[in-house]
């Protein structure tokens, strides 16, 4: 016996089918743009971010060095926030993890933290804003 479907049910099925197709296309495009080994650092690390900047017709690499205070996950939309002190003023910048403008992220110093977000560092000054260094024991 054949089931008789209402027009509303048929419309819902076509909308769902269209959305599934769009999601597959979006996932395929995102997979192409994702970088390998992009995540070689964690919150609390001091990093150097080599970021391409376009000025007119020229392109140069600017280095932003600071403390990683937060990471947000979300597939290709993954971001991380770096904080540095520049001329006595705290500067924070959010970088997309898989951006084609980021050449590389170099870890200078591993930090030992017990928090996922280090927003409390904003209120600290001088030595109080430091994060302890992570010391890894090597088995001989």
Residue 15's pLDDT is 59
Q: How far apart are CA 130 and CA 140, in angstroms?
A: 31
At 94, the pLDDT band (50, 70, 90 cuts) reads very high
At 12, the pLDDT band (50, 70, 90 cuts) reads low
Instruction: Using the predicted structure, report yes or no on whether residue 16 has a pLDDT greater than 70.
Output: no
At 17, the pLDDT band (50, 70, 90 cuts) reads low
Least confident of 15-19, 55-59, 69-73, 84-88: 15-19
CATH 2.30.30.790 domain span(s) along the chain: 46-129
For residues 65-81, average pLDDT: 88
Q: Estimate to the nearest angstrom the gap between the alpha carbon of 110 and the chain centroid.
A: 17
For residues 71-78, average pLDDT: 83
Residue 10's pLDDT is 60
Residue 19's pLDDT is 62
Residues 46-129, CATH architecture: Roll (2.30)
Whether 51 contacts 101, CB under 8 Å: yes
Q: What is the pLDDT of residues 43-58, one digit of tens each?
A: 989 999 999 999 889 9
Mean pLDDT of the chain: 82
Which of 28, 49, 29, 46 has the alpha carbon at shortest distance from 38?
49
What is the side-by-side order of every strand in the sheet holding 102-109?
89-96, 79-86, 58-72, 46-55, 102-109
Which positions ≥6 away from 52 have C-beta within 8 Å? 59, 60, 61, 62, 101, 102, 103
At 67, the pLDDT band (50, 70, 90 cuts) reads very high
């Amino acid at each position: 016996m054949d089931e008789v479907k209402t027009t509303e049910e048929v419309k819902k099925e076509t909308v769902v089918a269209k959305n599934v197709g769009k999601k597959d296309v979006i996932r395929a495009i995102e997979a192409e743009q994702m970088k390998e080994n992009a995540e070689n650092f964690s919150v609390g690390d001091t990093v150097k971010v080599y970021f391409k900047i376009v000025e007119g017709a020229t392109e140069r690499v600017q280095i932003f060095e600071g403390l990683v205070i937060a990471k947000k996950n979300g597939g290709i939309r993954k971001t991380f926030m770096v904080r540095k002190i520049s001329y006595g003023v705290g500067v924070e910048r959010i970088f997309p993890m898989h951006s084609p403008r980021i050449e590389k992220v170099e870890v200078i110093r591993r930090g030992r933290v017990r928090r996922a977000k280090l927003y409390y560092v904003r209120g600290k000054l001088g030595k109080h804003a430091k994060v302890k260094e992570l010391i890894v024991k090597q088995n001989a």
